[in-house]
Chains A and B, each alone.
Chain A
Amino acid sequence: MHSTTESFQKNFALFEHSLNGESELPLHQLRRRSLERFSTLGFPTTRDEDWRFTNIAPLAATQFRPILVSEPHSITPAQVAAAGYAGQSGQRLVFVNGHFAPGLSQLGEVGNGATVSNLAAAIKADAAAVEQFIESLPATKPDTFAALNTAFIRDGVFISVPSGIIIEQPIHLLFIGVATSEATVAHLRNLISVGENAQATIIEEYVSIGGGGNHATFTNPVTQIAAAPNATVNHYRIQHEQELGFHIGTFHATLDRASTVNSITFTLGSAIVRNNTSAVLAGPGAHCTMDGVYLANETQLVDNHTTLDHAAPNCTSHELYKGVLNDRGRGVFSGRIIVRQDAQKTDSKQSNRNLLLSDTAIIDSKPQLEIFADDVKCTHGATIGQLSDESLFYLRARGIGLAEARAILTYAFAEEVVEHIAIPELRDYLETLLNTRLEH
């Protein structure tokens, strides 16, 4: 019935064949179960409430070639530096079409028992530990794309920071998609565990580098973060892949007692992007910020579905998503906040603001509050606006041309989120990235 899932089943047979004995491991049973789940669920359609505004028929209709082994590529370190964030030294793990590229990466000593490795190496070293880690994280709700990702688990990152360890330098993960003469797919899995009183900063970036082809790339990553009691994790996700790309990204964080997870998602590219971003505040006193900036130009579609699940008392969450929609661009924001019965004294604030730069741009914004506790503070708001004529006139009266004035004011709209970035070099990088996109 879901005939479009068939090509992925064929891919799976090829994938299985390429695993060389690894298919005997319990981890592979997890893959198989996930493939079954994927096949049962099938691709969602606009009849599914969670996908009402996001029609992924173009993705479902595409045959993607799996890239089973790391293929030779001609990407140079200079191209890597030009394509992504290069503002700091420290750990950088670079992946090309879903496979770790050690020659382009910088893996220094993290020390103190911390592990920063690519997932394929971690599986090779200790598949049982990886499998246990995945199983220990609470399952996200049944989702086709997460199931598809788990079915094809092979590479990505594995980061484990032991208790009390503070990793000062951000860990930069750069995922490069190379457009070739065929449509290709990468299922990346990132597993991040930050121990008690430990701290880490992760920059997860998705870019494209032209590879002489103009076919679609489909990036289907899943990132899971487990923050132990009193841990602090800063997570930045930056997506600016090619125009013909599909990107369905899943991010899930679990917050134990008094831990903090700050997540900022910048979405700038691709034909269809869907971000499923969720966090469970599972221990008392946890704090989560979930911010985002999304841009959709021409006929792009960017869909952010967020869930903040307050499962323990005295937790706080702040959410600010700002969207800029131009041309026939389309944005979707769905912000779900769940406050469970035990989650008394929850303080949750959600805000979604949108700037529409053309008459044909569209935004669908939907807050969803499900509150089962009685002593809580929850606020939410959504706005849709345009650039102010008076502000534009002020800039023009100083000699600044109309296009530049619009770009300046549009960037200013997004700046509120950019200033939440704790790393100055990364803030500058995002400023340049956004301004370049806005002046197109």
Chain B
Amino acid sequence: MSQQPILEIRDLRASVEGKEILKGINLTVNPGEVHAIMGPNGSGKSTLAQVLAGHKAYEVTGGEALLHGNDLLEMDPEERAREGVFLAFQYPVELPGVNSTYFLKAAVNAVRKHRGEEELDAADFLALVRQKMKVLDVGEALLKRSVNEGFSGGEKKRNEIFQMAVLEPTLAILDETDSGLDIDALRVVADGVNKLRGSENGMVLVTHYQRLLEYIVPDVVHVLYNGRIIKSGGKELALELEEHGYDWVKEHAEEVGVGQ
């Protein structure tokens, strides 16, 4: 008997300001799988990530998305997070005056409360955070700062992965986590992600470049173009893309009839 998928998306359509961006997405993520979604700028990659996290600027106009069989699109963003969805933002916002420790503790306890678990007190929380910091090689100074305030691009991305490690999501969506990172930062972030891979959780990596996939090897690669997944394959598909560029995809798209 097959396991229930973590995420099942069927014919998902979404618009922003009346313009349709997602034009029928189908995607299934099973436990233990890492999916990469690649595509040129404007293909709808980030829109997909934001729609799954529940950003209200994107209007779902059709289709469905199920998280462990439950209607994901019905849930508020916080409910999704408590049910195990984590979006690593492409552009994490700076929150001046919001203490990182306070923020993370509020997040962890919101999830725990939802699961019917006891909330962590300050000592237990600190122990958890310290353990995750060790795994991801993050300095304790981060906890004393305001969330993302004055962080470099790389620090912000690393903070996203750190939060992910603390919150232990069942479905992690990484939106262009590799963009703006130099090779060392990329390695650190990829390392962190690999440590969080497990047989119970799934990941969706949204990326423009094949580079990230050298460090995080996906099980499935999808090519998103003009709001639809036009090609799916193994990890070698990413290499093919790298070799031929996105023009090759566009030609392919025209062949299958999803051009402009």
Contact = CB atoms under 8 A, between A and B. Distances in A.
Interface in B162-217: 163, 167
Nearest to B78: A396
A401 B110 contact: yes
Interface residues of B, number: 29
Most A-side CB within 10 Å, residue of B55, B92, B97, B114 = B97
Nearest to B108: A399
Contacts of B146: 412
A12 interface: no
Interface stretch (A88-96, A169-177, A402-410): A402-410
A412 B153 CA distance: 22
A409 B94 CA distance: 11
A408 B110 contact: no
Interface residues of A, number: 24
A245 to B, nearest CB: 29
Interface stretch (A223-231, A274-282, A387-395): A387-395
Interface string A396-440: 111111101100110111111000000000000000000000000
Contacts of A389: 56
A391 B82 contact: no
A328 B163 CA distance: 37
B106 interface: yes
Given A397-B81, A408-B103, A412-B98, A402 B167 contact: no
A399 B93 contact: no
A391 B95 contact: yes
B98 A409 contact: yes
B72 interface: no
Most B-side CB within 10 Å, residue of A388, A398, A400, A413 = A398
B77 A412 contact: no
A313 B98 CA distance: 39
B89 A394 contact: yes
Nearest to A412: B97
Interface string B69-112: 00000001110111000110100110111100011001100110
Interface in B123-175: 146, 163, 167
Given A399-B81, A399-B82, A399-B167, A394 B92 contact: yes
A394 B96 CA distance: 13
A411 B97 contact: yes
B44 to A, nearest CB: 19
A53 to B, nearest CB: 28
Contacts of A396: 54, 76-78, 81
A399 B79 CA distance: 6
Contact of B78 (A390, A399, A408): A399
B127 to A, nearest CB: 20
Contacts of B167: 398-399
B38 interface: no
Contacts of B56: 389, 393
A415 B98 CA distance: 8
A389 B58 CA distance: 13
A414 B87 CA distance: 28
A322 to B, nearest CB: 10
A404 B54 CA distance: 18
B97 A415 contact: yes
Interface string A304-343: 0000000000000000000000000000000000000000
Q: Which 6 A-B pairs have the closest CB atoms?
A: A412-B97, A415-B97, A399-B81, A396-B77, A399-B110, A398-B107
Interface of B: 53-56, 76-78, 80-82, 86-87, 89, 92-93, 95-98, 102-103, 106-107, 110-111, 114, 146, 163, 167
11 contacts: A391-B95, A394-B92, A394-B93, A397-B89, A398-B107, A399-B78, A399-B107, A400-B78, A404-B106, A409-B98, A416-B96
Given A389-B56, A400-B107, 7 more contacts: A390-B93, A397-B78, A399-B81, A400-B78, A401-B110, A415-B96, A415-B97
